[in-house]
Chains A and B, each alone.
Chain A
Amino acid sequence: MRDLEQTLTQIGRELEWPETPDLSASVLARLEVLPPEGSAAGAEPEPPGTEAAPPARRPSRRRRLPGLLPPRGLRRALVLALVSLLVLSGAVFAAVPSVRDAVLEFIGLQGATVERREDLPPPPPIEPLELGTRTTLEATPERLAFDPLVPEDPGDPDGVYVSDRAAGGELSLTYRPSESLPRARTTGLGLLVTEIRGDLMPDFFQKLAPEGAVIEELTVGGEPAAWIEGAEHFFFYRAPNGEVVEDELRLAQNVLLMQRGPMLIRLEGAFDRDRALEIAASLR
């Protein structure tokens, strides 16, 4: 085998690769020389606090969006596509311009963003969840680029699902409602745990929360987290190419989003923050 490996390496060094184009000029032209996220001029990165952060405006964070999203024309097209979807589904997306513009608060985590908006459209109808293929915990390693974590509290899930819509795979664990896990209106479940490789999927989960929602920046296990409570918020996926995955737009109830190493973990349910933190602390 060693000979074959050496032969392959040798051949690799003699391969005729297509000529590498000079990408620096075209990339820089596309960046519009905007600073990337978190590069607030002269500002130190804000340490995530354990107390609820005041809903301060973060104009510097706001600026990152144009760089992350497709060009403006395409963004407009995406927003319009979203409008069409909502109109088709019976909703009226009357406040599109303000939805796009009036960001009151922005939280960026590895793999997710949360925005508090001044105005939000009427909610879409609640649809069955699309969690991927049903499987077992034992069978997940082949399809996931991370080691799944399972909360010891409440224990083994009632359902395990894997989807490939995220790079590295997306794992969903479902728990039926119980005394300690009341039924969430948005999912019909007691608890929904979702795990992805957040470092591979910037902004995979995106949330738009209404003005009345509580958004707290927290530290869980020494890593950044966010708690969203008080008002159902919009939740949708963003494909790796930045496009909104339109048919995945849905409402979400209370959610704890947390980073754990390269992973982003999302706990959704009708429980309160303390209960969410208990579940988070039991992830193994």
Chain B
Amino acid sequence: MEDRPPNEDELVARAKRGEPAAYGEIVRRHQSIAFRTAWVITRNAADAEEAAQDAFVKAHAALGRFREGAPFRPWLLAIVSNEARNRLKSAGRRERLALRVAEERRPGGAVPSPEAALLDSEQRDELLAALEELSDTDRETIACRYFLELSEEETAAALGCPRGTVKSRTSRALERLRARLEPADA
């Protein structure tokens, strides 16, 4: 038999039966998106870590009610975002979302991708600064859709809004971001 990694449905089924290793694998597969989503909301790495960890614990407790065959990630992200928002509320502070482009992440000497080549660092800084000026909702919407590359369903779960609202929120957030960029372009 071919040794293939278990798919998500199998892992969830095994975790429901109480196999810790299966749930550990689920956590490993989703911890990055869970942590980053929490960070976008809390804007603090320590809070994001705690929120993501709490979310995984609560998701495990609620696994019995997870609908078989449903996508796991939106369900998890809804729990993550709840935890992150609670933590943000109880922290009583607002940090700025410290978005920076990792210049050094590009392999040394490698030719940048055609898209990247079009974006000089000044443009990136300008865009990130404009993003920082947007409302929390606009910034989170853009971060979910474009930075985290979440689907509409996942974004709706992370933002706690109907799926249909994601489209309109995204469109409005982009309009407002463009409006902030335009005066500089003119």
Q: Decide yes or no: A146 and B24 within 8 Å by CB, A11-B128, A16-B101 being known contacts.
A: no
Residues of A within 8 A of B (CB-CB), count: 56
Answer whether residue A73 sits at the interface, using C-beta atoms and an 8 A cutoff.
no
* Cβ contacts A131-174/B at 8 Å (1 or 0 each): 00000000001001111000000000000000000011000000
Q: Is the CB of B101 within 8 A of A27?
A: no
A36 and B64 form a contact (CB under 8 A)? yes
Chain B 114-158 residues near chain A, CB threshold 8 A: 115-116, 119, 123-124, 127-128, 142-143, 146-149, 156-157
In the bound complex, what is the Cα–Cα distance between A221 and B45 (angstroms)?
45
Tell me if B101 and A15 are in contact (CB < 8 A). Answer: yes
Contacts of A23 in B (CB 8 A): 27, 31, 34-35, 49, 52-53, 56
For the complex, give the distance between the alpha carbons of A23 and B49 in Å.
8
Main secondary structure of the interface of A (DSSP, over half): loop
In the bound complex, residues from chain A placing their C-beta under 8 Å from that of B174 are 1, 4-5
On whether the beta carbons of A11 and B160 are closer than 8 Å, the reply is no
Residues on A with beta carbons closer than 8 Å to the beta carbon of B146: 5, 8-9, 11-12
**Complex Cα spacing A131 to B28, Å:** 40
What 0/1 readout, one digit per residue, does chain B (58-85) give for beta carbons within 8 Å of chain A?
A: 1011111101000000010011011101
A11-B127 contact, Cβ under 8 Å, with A39-B17, A67-B57: yes
Instruction: List B contacts of A37 (CB < 8 A).
Output: 61-65
Give the interface segment out of A86-94, A177-185, A206-214, A235-243.
A235-243
Give chain A's interface residues, CB within 8 Å of chain B.
Answer: 1, 4-12, 14-18, 20-28, 30-31, 33-39, 41, 64, 67-68, 108-110, 141, 144-147, 167-168, 199-203, 239-242
Which residues of B does A touch, CB under 8 Å?
A: 15-18, 20, 23-25, 27-28, 31-32, 34-36, 39, 45, 48-49, 52-54, 56-58, 60-65, 67, 75, 78-79, 81-83, 85-86, 99-103, 105-106, 113, 115-116, 119, 123-124, 127-128, 142-143, 146-149, 156-157, 160-162, 174, 177-178, 181
